């Protein structure tokens, strides 16, 4: 099978980029062909670039024609879209449709139903636009506190909702958890076109972990409000091992302050093999997200590394982490609860090891690359057969 992946790389390399890399590697390992139609969001540099991109967000005939040519040159059996915001746009669906090639879209975030893509506003969960007017986002400046930016996203959501794009132009959506599937259905996506397939880590995490010593806690992710890193650092105690932090972002000053006080270690942005090495050293991974995560790649990687996870007790994270078996959970908006749960976990290394073994077992039974690839191949084959029979 020949699969064309479509993906806009983020300005800061993150989980969605790692998912694409892992899926391409897995398909090639399984003997299939995987090619990449890619854009890089770092190419948006000037005000003019941003303005043009905002106007083209819903898609244009020019973009459609260019994408149609690229897809035809690649000659795939199927197109698998990941992040198409903002440079590929839903024109991809039309271009593939022109050529009779089915499309799968992985829903990594809530961009189809929420201008911020996070279902979050003012540091709290917000579902005001789910199943309602997306233009509420303009009033609240939901996209980067920008009226023009929020308007551009609301316009895109509204236009494709009215056109029926989500109901007709995409053969199948992949939601990463049952929780996120429910939010997309509530937001208007067709329930019968949404399959649930979680993320699987790349080859750097596949090897079984050894029984070497483990110590301390690890955070991997963007240093930003929705990821909860600043609030986590606020409660991190001096009598705990310093929190090792992989990533960068706007909340970097909070990390620098904690590092200066000896409560954290800033590791910067690392590659997959380096992240895997850190996960094999740590005793606990902490995911203090304040938004609805879909399926953090960090969590899949941690489980593969035999690393238990302390996660926020909200959204899909409550579905992904089995409290008292593969990790523990806390209320990310309650500092006392967060401190109590993490402190209790760190105080019992034997229990952390038991949780870590259970996490690795869950990876082997449900999240391995072989299982993940087989599920996607079955989906591809179903869509290709349906298109051929039409």
Summarised one tens digit per residue, pLDDT across range 154-212 is 999 999 999 999 999 999 999 999 999 999 999 999 999 999 999 999 889 989 898 88
DSSP run (H or E) holding 81:
strand 78-81
Q: Is the pLDDT of residue 368 over 90?
A: yes
Q: How do the domains of the chain map onto residue ranges?
A: 2-200+369-389, 203-367
Classify the C-alpha dihedral 98-103-107-108 as positive or negative. negative
pTM of the full structure: 0.92
CB 245 within 8 A of CB 265: yes
Residue closest to 19 by CA, chosen among 226, 361, 299: 299
Show the DSSP H helices in the chain as ranges: 15-29, 47-56, 61-74, 91-98, 136-140, 147-163, 165-168, 178-186, 229-235, 252-260, 272-281, 297-304, 317-320, 335-346, 349-362, 369-389
For 27, 305, 371, the CA distances from 374, given in Å and listed in that order, are 9, 22, 5
CATH architecture of 203-367: 3-Layer(aba) Sandwich (3.40)
CA count, 13 A, side-chain hemisphere, 369: 21
For 34, 57, 161, 181, 347, the CA distances from 379, given in Å and listed in that order, are 16, 28, 25, 17, 44
The answer to whether 2-200+369-389 and 203-367 have equal CATH topology is yes
Residues 6+ apart with CB under 8 A from 210: 280
Longest dimension (CA), the chain: 65
- 253 against 41, higher pLDDT: 253
Residue closest to 74 by CA, chosen among 31, 24, 22, 37: 37
pLDDT at 74: 97
Per the DSSP assignment, residues forming a β-bridge with 124 are 121
Band of the pLDDT at 230, cuts 50, 70, 90?
very high
Note the pLDDT tens digit of each residue in 280-325. Answer: 999 999 999 999 999 999 999 999 999 999 999 999 998 999 999 9
CB burial of 287-314 (b: ≥16 within 10 Å; e: otherwise) equals bbbbbbbbbbbbbbbbbbbbbbbbbbbb
Q: Is the pLDDT of residue 269 over 80?
A: yes
pLDDT at 56: 87
Reduce the DSSP state of residue 306 to 3 states and report it.
coil
pLDDT at 233: 98
State the residue for tokens 């997306």.
134
Give the C-alpha separation, 170 to 387, whole Å. Answer: 12
Whole-number percent of the chain with pLDDT over 90: 87
What secondary structure letter does DSSP report for 323?
B
The CATH code of the domain at 2-200+369-389 is: 3.40.50.2000
The mean pLDDT of 63-79, rounded to a whole number, is 97
């Amino acid at each position: 099978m020949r699969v064309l992946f479509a993906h806009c790389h983020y300005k800061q390399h993150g989980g969605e980029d790692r998912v694409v890399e892992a899926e391409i590697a897995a398909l090639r390992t399984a003997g299939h062909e995987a090619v990449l139609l890619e854009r890089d969001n770092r190419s948006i540099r000037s005000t003019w670039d941003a303005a043009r991109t905002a106007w083209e967000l819903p898609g244009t005939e020019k973009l459609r024609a260019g994408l149609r040519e690229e897809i035809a040159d690649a000659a795939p059996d199927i197109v698998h879209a990941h992040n198409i915001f903002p440079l590929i746009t839903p024109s991809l669906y039309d271009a593939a449709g022109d050529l009779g090639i089915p499309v799968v879209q992985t829903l990594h975030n809530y961009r189809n139903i929420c201008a911020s893509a996070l279902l979050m506003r003012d540091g709290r969960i917000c579902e005001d636009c789910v199943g309602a007017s997306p233009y509420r986002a303009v009033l609240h400046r939901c996209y980067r506190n920008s009226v023009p930016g929020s308007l551009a996203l609301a316009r895109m959501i509204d236009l494709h909702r009215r056109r029926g794009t989500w109901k007709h132009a995409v053969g199948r959506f992949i939601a990463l958890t049952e929780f996120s599937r429910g939010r997309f259905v509530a937001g208007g996506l067709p329930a019968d076109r949404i399959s649930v397939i979680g993320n699987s880590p790349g080859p750097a995490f596949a090897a079984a972990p050894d029984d070497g010593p483990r110590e301390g806690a690890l955070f991997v992710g963007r240093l930003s409000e929705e990821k909860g890193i600043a609030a986590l650092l606020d409660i991190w105690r001096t009598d705990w091992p310093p929190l090792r932090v992989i990533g960068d972002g706007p909340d970097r000053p909070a990390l620098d302050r904690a590092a200066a006080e000896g409560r954290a270690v800033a590791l910067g942005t690392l590659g997959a093999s380096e992240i895997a090495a850190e996960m094999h050293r740590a005793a606990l991974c902490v995911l203090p997200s304040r938004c609805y995560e879909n399926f953090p790649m960090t969590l899949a990687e941690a489980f593969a590394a035999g690393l238990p996870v302390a996660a926020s007790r909200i959204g899909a994270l409550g579905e992904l982490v089995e409290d008292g078996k593969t990790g523990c959970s806390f209320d990310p908006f309650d500092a006392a609860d967060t401190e109590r749960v993490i402190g209790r976990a760190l105080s019992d290394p034997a229990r952390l090891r038991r949780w870590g073994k259970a996490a690795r077992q869950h990876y082997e039974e449900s999240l391995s690359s072989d299982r993940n690839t087989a599920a996607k191949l079955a989906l591809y084959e179903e869509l290709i057969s349906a298109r051929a029979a039409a």
